[in-house]
């Protein structure tokens, strides 16, 4: 990983302060026990669902305070990133069984159908309205239909993050193995 000219044993010159001295990223490869960090894995297991729930909160609160589909999707995505860093692609694959591109496509379809749906009721494209839903137990709840757009964004962004993990994470890792480089 480090460059070939090795001068780390010398007293470090000033401008070399940022020279990497060890592999600074934990590999995601689960099959190499030497590189696993139990602490990180345990933390992740505990944090992961919490963060996902928080992301749902952000999604729903978006209309009233900071939040919304973007931020929520990104938070959820970061949860998966954490999971990947701790457990590697195999672990991630165990959680997410759908293809990432399909997730992205689904998100986009949800958003586009939200845009087009009002036409069926004779309203302009992308118009929104307030839906009153009678929920059991909770009673009457009001829902702005634009939340569906937010849901689409949320799903799509999770898909994007997963796809990035697949490509930049797993893909590059595999390339490195192919090339015989030490991860």
Query: Least distance (Å) from another protein to the CB of residue 33?
Result: 20
Query: Is there a contact between 140 and 132 (Cβ–Cβ < 8 Å)?
Result: yes
Q: Output 45 or 174, the one with its CB closest to another protein.
A: 174
Question: Which of 9, 10, 13, 18 is close enough to bind another protein by CB under 8 A?
Answer: 18
Contacts of another protein in 96-155 (CB under 8 A): 99-102, 104-109, 111-112, 115-116, 119, 123-128, 130, 142, 144, 146-147, 149-150, 152-153
Specify the 3-state DSSP secondary structure of 141: strand
Query: Is there a contact between 161 and 77 (Cβ–Cβ < 8 Å)?
Result: yes
Query: If binding is defined by CB under 8 A, does position 59 make contact with another protein?
Result: no
Query: If binding is defined by CB under 8 A, does position 32 make contact with another protein?
Result: no
Buried b (16+ CB within 10 A) or exposed e, 43-67: ebeeebeebbeebeebbeebeeeeb
Query: Is there a contact between 92 and 84 (Cβ–Cβ < 8 Å)?
Result: yes
Query: Least distance (Å) from another protein to the CB of residue 92?
Result: 13
Query: Least distance (Å) from another protein to the CB of residue 118?
Result: 8
Query: Is there a contact between 49 and 62 (Cβ–Cβ < 8 Å)?
Result: no
Binding mask 39-58 for another protein (x = CB under 8 A): --------------------
Query: Least distance (Å) from another protein to the CB of residue 7?
Result: 12
In DSSP terms, 132 is beta-bridged to 142
Query: Of the ranges 29-37, 38-46, 132-140, 169-177, which one interacts with another protein (CB under 8 A)?
Result: 169-177
Query: If binding is defined by CB under 8 A, does position 169 make contact with another protein?
Result: yes
Cα 69 to chain centroid distance, Å, stands at: 13
Query: Least distance (Å) from another protein to the CB of residue 75?
Result: 6
Binding mask 71-100 for another protein (x = CB under 8 A): x--xx-xx--x-----------------xx
Report d(CA 6, CA 162) in Å as an integer.
37
Helix axes 100-116, 146-164, angle to 10 degrees: 160
């Amino acid at each position: 990983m480090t460059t070939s000219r090795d001068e780390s044993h010398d007293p470090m010159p000033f401008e070399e302060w940022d020279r990497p001295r060890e592999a600074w990223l934990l590999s995601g490869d689960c099959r190499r026990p030497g590189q696993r960090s139990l602490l990180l894995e345990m933390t992740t297991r505990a944090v992961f669902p919490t963060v996902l729930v928080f992301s749902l909160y952000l999604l729903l609160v978006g209309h009233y305070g900071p939040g919304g589909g973007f931020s929520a999707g990104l938070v959820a995505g970061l949860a998966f990133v954490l999971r990947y860093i701790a457990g590697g692609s195999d672990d991630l694959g165990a959680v997410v069984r759908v293809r990432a591109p399909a997730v992205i496509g689904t998100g986009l379809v949800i958003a586009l159908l939200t845009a087009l749906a009002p036409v069926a009721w004779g309203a302009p494209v992308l118009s929104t309205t307030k839906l009153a839903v009678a929920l059991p137990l909770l009673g009457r709840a009001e829902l702005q239909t634009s939340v569906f757009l937010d849901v689409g964004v949320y799903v799509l962004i999770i898909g994007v993050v997963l796809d990035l993990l697949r490509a930049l994470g797993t893909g590059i890792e595999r390339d490195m193995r192919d090339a015989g480089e030490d991860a």
